[in-house]
Amino acid sequence: MTLPPAAGGILIRADNPAALAAACRDGLAWLAAAGLDRQVEVSEEGLAVRFRLQADAARAWAPDFDTTGLCERMGLDPEGSTADLDREILAAMLLGPVAFEFPSVDEARSAVHIRRNIVQAARRTALDFHTTEAERPADYWTYVEGKGFTILPGRSLTEGLVKATQPEVSGQLYAFSCYRATEYVILLAIAQELAAVNAELLARLQRQWEARPIMSGQFHDVFLHEYGSMESPLPPKYYVPGDRLWFRNPDARSADVTGYEGSWVFYLGRGLFTNFWKRDQPFTLAAKCLEIYHWRDGAYVDASGEMQMDETVVEARVRATQNDPVERERILERMLRLRDPKGVYAEGGCIDTSREYPRCVRPGTADIRLPEPRVAALWRQIRDRVRAQARLKLAACLGLPLLMPTHHAAAAHSIADELRHATPAAQVVEVEAQLAGWLDALGVRRP
């Protein structure tokens, strides 16, 4: 696989020629500070500038886009040096087959910082494995039926996420799924960067998790970009530290065991992937493939007729395969293929065609769109209706045969009734007090 002549790397878009010149200057200064400027080629493309690793360097450091050996070839120590972790992230992005697009160099810097935060938090994350139970630190979290775990008012979301995922801080392991754990790690990484660059969005994030957490498919839509697809798959061994990705279980029978449809992980860099259950034993790509392959051997039906997984059988079969070079090679040849489409279990492997990474976070360019709380939407509806009634009242004063004031009040009160069923009592009192003041000022409220 070869890199197309005008694709990939980091692409910075600008609004005008002056901003473009600044992006070129700031981008080169950033790469120089990371010691990568001499290995990068720069090209202007209209009102955009592309920074891309030179072809010779890309082939030497990541042949066929295989970034799992990037650290070894570059002589980096990402676990011992934050600067080296940043260099690994930057180099992987610069040689990528798909462009990472940003509206500014500052936004690209924040993207690297968030990826660094993900890697560092993921290294510290450990869970009590359970596919059906969930728990959180009671001094930071509470469970609300229909919403999930919300952060307690007055408690820091960032601290709550750390305590839920990092046993050195909490003193114990908490049970929840690997998918939810990846959401917490991403959310923590974003919150840490927001604390440095966008306090207003951080405050909104805090309020969101106090009211209604964002989870699952909505989390993906709100916080993440996905790159690569079934139609345009990424190279099987191309990963950037901080990527969230999925390994699919290609065995239909064992994929029916709850929690074993596949495995959500982060790429940590240096060829390693997270293992939230045994944090000190991160997976290599080969080890992850072997574990998922042997899930088929650990799957069984219990006395109640439910599919279950015997992890001791899986571990024993993995050890046996590791000691049998021929069998190991046979299994890896199959598992390192790209996965089949959803619902298909044919000749595909466990490698997904796409990866995910967080959206932009800087003031003015952030593209994280938090869902608007219902109370705010309803209050805006009230405001708009009252403003409309004010215009109607003015028109009535000019002699037009329009609605009487009592109808205006009735319309507003009908919205208040809807609001009463949707929000906490304290919010209703506050909103209704404001509404009463508006109606009094307009002379349309009935006693």
Of 39, 69, 96, the one marking the end of a domain is 96
Residue 368 falls inside a structural domain: no
Say yes or no: 313 and 251 in one domain: yes
Say yes or no: 343 and 400 in one domain: no
Q: What is the pLDDT of residue 396?
A: 46
Q: What is the pLDDT of residue 13?
A: 97
Residue 331 falls inside a structural domain: yes
Distance CA 285, CA 335 (A): 10
Q: What is the pLDDT of residues 162-179, one digit of tens each?
A: 999 999 998 899 988 888
Residue 230 falls inside a structural domain: no
Residue 320 falls inside a structural domain: yes
Of 37, 63, 96, the one marking the end of a domain is 96
Residue 282 falls inside a structural domain: yes
Do the Cβ atoms of 359 and 366 come closer than 8 Å?
A: yes
Q: What is the pLDDT of residues 30-73, one digit of tens each?
A: 999 999 999 999 999 999 999 999 999 999 999 999 999 999 99
Say yes or no: 342 and 389 in one domain: no
Q: What's the half-sphere exposure (Cβ side, CA atoms, 13 Å) at 99?
A: 16
Instruction: Give every residue of the chain whose pLDDT is below 50, as ranges.
Output: 1-5, 394-423, 444-447
- Domain count across the chain: 3
Distance CA 6, CA 170 (A): 49
Q: What is the pLDDT of residues 187-241, one digit of tens each?
A: 999 999 999 999 999 999 999 999 999 999 899 999 999 999 999 999 999 999 9
Q: What's the half-sphere exposure (Cβ side, CA atoms, 13 Å) at 409?
A: 14
Say yes or no: 349 and 396 in one domain: no
Say yes or no: 20 and 81 in one domain: yes
Say yes or no: 341 and 385 in one domain: no
Q: What is the pLDDT of residue 176?
A: 81
Do the Cβ atoms of 331 and 285 come closer than 8 Å?
A: no
Residue 337 falls inside a structural domain: yes
Distance CA 56, CA 323 (A): 37
Say yes or no: 389 and 338 in one domain: no
Distance CA 212, CA 221 (A): 16
Q: Which domain holds residue 414?
A: 374-442
Q: How far apart are the first and last CA of the chain?
A: 76
Residue 232: both structure tokens together:
């345009």
Residue 179: both structure tokens together:
């998918």
Say yes or no: 257 and 295 in one domain: yes
Residue 338 falls inside a structural domain: yes
Q: What is the pLDDT of residue 134?
A: 75
Q: What is the pLDDT of residue 189?
A: 98
Residue 232 falls inside a structural domain: no
∠ CA 158-161-164 to the nearest 5 degrees?
150
**Residue appearing with tokens 């462009």:** 99
Q: What is the pLDDT of residue 439?
A: 53
Residue 420: both structure tokens together:
């009463």
Q: What is the pLDDT of residue 413?
A: 47
Of 96, 119, 146, the one marking the end of a domain is 96
